Structure 1
Amino acid sequence: MSTPPQQPPSSPQQPAQPPDQPPVIPAQQPQAAQPPQPTAYPYPNPQSPPPQNPYAQPTLVNQPAQPQQANPYAVQPGYGYPPPAAAPSGGTNTAARAVLWAAVGAVVASAAWAAGLFLTGGFGDKADLRGYTAPANLCSGADYSSFKEEYPADDSSPTKNAMKDPALDESICSLSLKKTGSSYADAYLSLQVDLHKKTDPGPEFTATWKNYGDSHTDYDVTPVQGIGDEAYLVTQDTSNGSTTSGSRYATLAVRDGWMTYSMSYSAYLSSYESDTNPPTLDEVTGWLKSDTKATLQQLKG
């Protein structure tokens, strides 16, 4: 009899899975955490979470808020600057009007500042000429009659010049003074008037004449009262008492507003005849004062 073929042993029957169900994947076993591997890159991995601060305070959930401590250095009410005013209500229109009025206020303040500078001399000063004029011929427009008794002969050809400019009007006169019978001049007289129409001559006038003795050797300077705003008499006598040598010089300089005027006398004693004596400085300065007052009156007319 033949032996039937043997069947291989069958594996245990697996339970049948219901149809249309996903296959069950067995869960993977958790693997042990691997220690960090050393690396040559010296900076932390940007994908790694930041290290925990061991000194950080734990965050408490639902912890009541602590009251804020007052700043001991803050400006307290009633001291220092006042607190800022609350913004006006009214929306955008009110805010726009506030900005507009602020701009208008700034313009008004600027205009007032400019007007103040104008009135106080910051810029745009008006010339204070006080009615004076600078004639085309000062030799005929000035008064020097006080010198006529000592020097009666007229100068037939005096030097005269005049200039007119938006900044300055000027007129000058130079003439020779002669005694009766003199062939040559015994003395000289110079006159000059300036009308300063753009700048105030006061500071420079004072500096020039008040300090004339500092810039010129052997001159005496004396302030003169009663003529213009300020006046100075400058004199020099090198004759040392002689009537035949040396010279005598005197100038009276006057400022009245923005007008300046000067009248100068000079005499060289060697030109005088031996039988005559030249006038003293006291006589000359008296003539200068008298004729200057008369000339300033004429220049105003």
Structure 2
Amino acid sequence: MSTPPQPSQPADQPAPQPGQPAPQSAIPPQPTAYPYPNPQSPPPGSFYAQPTLVGQPAQPQAGVPGNPYAQPPRYGPVPAAPSGGGGGAGRAVLWVAVGAVVASAAWAAGVFLIGGMGDSADLRGYSAPSNMCSDADYSSFKDEYPESDSSPTHSSLKDRALDESYCSLNLKKTGSSYADAYLSIQVDLHRKTDPAPEFTATWKNYDDSHTGYDVNPVKGIGDEAYLVSQDTTSGSSSGSRYATLAVRDGWVTYTMSYSAYLSSYDQDKNPPGLTDVSDWLKTDTRATLEQLKG
């Protein structure tokens, strides 16, 4: 590390004689744990580096009266080109400034047109109804569950970032007082962010985070779709059958989920198999997505 320049000897202090120790500074150097030069101190020899004599106040900067610490302005107004001939230097400065303005405007336009501020939601004409229970198609389940739910649950959300509509239904066989199975339907219109990466991570890898589930991609519905299912009824009088069809079409996501429990069925009856349920989910999902585009 180079030794910093020492302050000049004051005029009223005698120079050290040979064989005598040099006089000590009035303020000894202070130790520091910072091994590098002060980033706010100008390097020796720079335009702003001006040594300060011990015992003398710092001199104010030219053009900044009364303020010894003020730095001269680094930027100023662009000088106008001199009139007449011989104004090449002035015109060069002016053209540099104009070029900087044009470059900044072009950069801003590029950000707006290419990405960031210019991105728009790819909703493909879908809408989120206020009552999904009345707008969704689940007619494929009617043969197995002909009784209507007299009080289905529904909710909706309208926001600048997200539109959402949800429905939950009790599915009942003929003569049932209570639900034999359950159906839920939800659509989300993502207005600010593309849901594709998270949708794929969630549903394509569902069996990685949920033990005992099967995941199968479904072709021909939206941009991507996955059927997630589980059957725990084999060889027992209890258990459940579950299936969800999750679809993404642009920035719109949709799920239709079925679940049934053996404890809800009569002992001599069983819920429909997952093959039938999967076909019903696909048929009704296609029909509902078409209606939500209407």
TM-score by length of 2: 0.68
The amino acid of 1:230's aligned partner reads E
CA distance in 1, matches of 2:101, 2:110: 14
The residue number in structure 2 matching 1:258 is 251
1:297 matches 2:290: yes
- Superposition RMSD in Å: 2.0
1:96/1:285 Cα in 2 relative to 1: closer, same or farther (>3 Å)? farther
1:103/1:171 Cα in 2 relative to 1: closer, same or farther (>3 Å)? same
1:276/1:256 Cα in 2 relative to 1: closer, same or farther (>3 Å)? same
Query: Of the candidates 226, 234, 250, which is equivalent to residue 220 of structure 2?
Result: 226
More displaced stretch, 209-218 vs 125-134: 209-218
More displaced stretch, 175-184 vs 208-217: 208-217
The residue number in structure 2 matching 1:118 is 112
1:98/1:184 Cα in 2 relative to 1: closer, same or farther (>3 Å)? same
Q: Percent identity?
A: 77
Once the two structures are superposed, the pairs formed by residues 82-121 of structure 1 within 5 Å of their partners are 93-121=87-115
1:120/1:222 Cα in 2 relative to 1: closer, same or farther (>3 Å)? farther
The residue number in structure 1 matching 2:231 is 237
Once the two structures are superposed, the pairs formed by residues 1-301 of structure 1 within 5 Å of their partners are 41-42=17-18, 93-242=87-236, 244-301=237-294
1:119/1:209 Cα in 2 relative to 1: closer, same or farther (>3 Å)? farther
CA distance in 1, matches of 2:133, 2:239: 28
CA distance in 2, matches of 1:241, 1:116: 64
CA distance in 2, matches of 1:247, 1:289: 20
1:123/1:277 Cα in 2 relative to 1: closer, same or farther (>3 Å)? same
Give the count of matched residue pairs: 215
- Structure 1 consecutive aligned stretches of length 4 or more whose deviation exceeds 4 Å: none
CA distance in 1, matches of 2:179, 2:90: 83
Q: Deviation per CA, 1:206-257, whole angstroms, max 9, x where unpaired?
A: 1111121122121111111111111111111111255x42101000111111
What is the DSSP-based 3-state SS (H/G/I as helix, E as strand, rest coil) of the residue aligned with 1:103? helix
CA distance in 2, matches of 1:221, 1:108: 54
CA distance in 2, matches of 1:144, 1:208: 25
What is the DSSP-based 3-state SS (H/G/I as helix, E as strand, rest coil) of the residue aligned with 1:208? helix
Rg larger for: 1
What is the DSSP-based 3-state SS (H/G/I as helix, E as strand, rest coil) of the residue aligned with 1:175? strand
Q: Deviation per CA, 1:71-126, whole angstroms, max 9, x where unpaired?
A: xxxxxxxxxxxxxxxxxxx9663333333333333333333333333344334421
